[in-house]
């Protein structure tokens, strides 16, 4: 007896999108490890970047399952709402990391 699939999306869009968000979370976690590696040279202010990147990775990882379930329900209903807040928060996080990075690097010059 086989388990019934929750959706009939042949392209498995929810799985691909979920994996993309998972890769994003892992990338932020690895980036924070690189920041830790650089902290002896650039100073403890770099630890703010570590905290921001790790927090973003944890939020993305912690909400991934809920977002996946929402995508599956949307496919079943044939109406998927875009998750603008998630993209905006990731954009804001990336911008914040860039600004903090510039401040840290220019403060070191």
Angle between helices 13-42 and 46-77 (to 10 degrees): 180
pLDDT tens for the chain, 109 residues long, are 444 456 665 557 777 888 888 999 999 999 999 988 888 887 787 888 999 999 999 999 898 888 888 888 877 777 878 889 888 999 999 999 999 889 888 876 5
pTM: 0.75
- Where along the chain do its domains lie? 13-108
What pLDDT was estimated at residue 72?
80
Rounded (10°) CA dihedral 69, 59, 91, 19: -50
What pLDDT was estimated at residue 11?
59
């Amino acid at each position: 007896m086989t388990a019934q699939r929750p959706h009939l999306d042949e392209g498995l869009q929810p799985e691909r999108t979920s994996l993309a968000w998972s890769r994003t979370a892992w990338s932020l976690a690895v980036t924070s490890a690189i920041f830790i590696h650089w902290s002896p040279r650039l100073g403890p202010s770099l630890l703010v970047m570590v905290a921001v990147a790790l927090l973003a990775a944890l939020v993305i990882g912690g909400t991934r399952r809920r977002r996946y379930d929402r995508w599956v329900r949307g496919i079943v209903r044939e109406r998927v709402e875009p998750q603008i807040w998630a993209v905006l928060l990731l954009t804001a996080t990336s911008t914040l990391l860039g600004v903090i990075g510039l401040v840290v690097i220019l403060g070191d010059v």
